[in-house]
Amino acid sequence: MFLVFLLIKTPFFHKTFLIKKNMLPLENYIDHTLLKPSATPENIIQLCEEAKKYNFFAVCINGSFVQLAKRELINSNVKIVAVVGFPLGTTAISIKVLETKTCINDGADEIDMVINVGMLKSKDFKYLENEIQAVKNELGDRVLKVIIETCYLTDEEKKVICEIAMNAGADFVKTSTGFGTNGATIADVKLIKEVLKGQLSIKASGGISDKETALSYISLGVTRIGTSSGIKIVT
């Protein structure tokens, strides 16, 4: 009985237990990401080659590169994640829907959409539910990750947007764009997990650049890691 208590409560043993018993290969958690405004087609081709070489789950890219990535990833298992309303989230709902439709038609498998943070701040919760539902309706069975940009939110706002995402049919809550004032934090992931109660998955992104940090999030139940440091993390 004492040994079982140690396995559950001691951080070192807790992490080791999860890694040995419940984890997929680390590369299966990685969305290999390149969202810099200066990214070139050559950079995207390299990103795709790296994703294939290291068996990452997906590449995460801007919508204008989806067709290129689709060609580069043909006959591979690597998925394509396209961002919508990125990075500010302030485009109209109709534009986010159009972006989503274009990305899917071009070959995207999943969408990471930035919410309108200002609407959350102003407590226009119906607007947020409508925009998430509208994008999800365009996606059907494809995965929608809702980027809530935690660095700009109070804890109460984080709780509210997680509830809205669940009600609106999203598949994931994602912490950050990586373009805000801060990225993922352990505290935020714990709070999000508490609210979601396993109903939606969690993607942690922003500032995750080493294996130890990635494993810390995975040990909390995160199922996807958004990072431009995927190679460093898995090697």
pLDDT along the chain (235 residues), means of 10: 32 43 89 98 98 98 98 98 98 98 98 98 98 98 98 98 98 98 98 98 98 98 98 98
DSSP string, the chain: -HHHHHHHH-HHHHHHHHHHHTPPPGGGGEEEEE--TT--HHHHHHHHHHHHHHT-SEEEE-GGGHHHHHHHTTTS--EEEEEESTTT--S-HHHHHHHHHHHHHHT-SEEEEE--HHHHHTT-HHHHHHHHHHHHHHHTTSEEEEE--GGG--HHHHHHHHHHHHHHT-SEEE---SSSS----HHHHHHHHHHHTTSSEEEEESS--SHHHHHHHHHTT--EEEES-HHHHH-
The one catalytic residue in 109, 112, 171, 188 is 112
Token pair for 46? 């390299």
Are the beta carbons of 192 and 161 closer than 8 angstroms? no
Stated pTM of the model = 0.91
The one catalytic residue in 158, 171, 174, 188 is 174
Instruction: Give me the pLDDT at residue 21, please.
Output: 60
> What does the angle CA 235 – CA 188 – CA 11 come to, to the nearest 5 degrees?
60
Instruction: Give me the pLDDT at residue 19, please.
Output: 52
Is 174 known to be catalytic?
A: yes
Is 53 known to be catalytic?
A: no
Token pair for 232? 């460093």
The one catalytic residue in 96, 136, 145, 203 is 203
Instruction: Give me the pLDDT at residue 23, please.
Output: 84
Q: Which CATH number fits domain 24-234: 3.20.20.70, 3.90.228.20, 3.40.1190.20, 3.90.650.10?
A: 3.20.20.70
d(CA 90, CA 120): 11
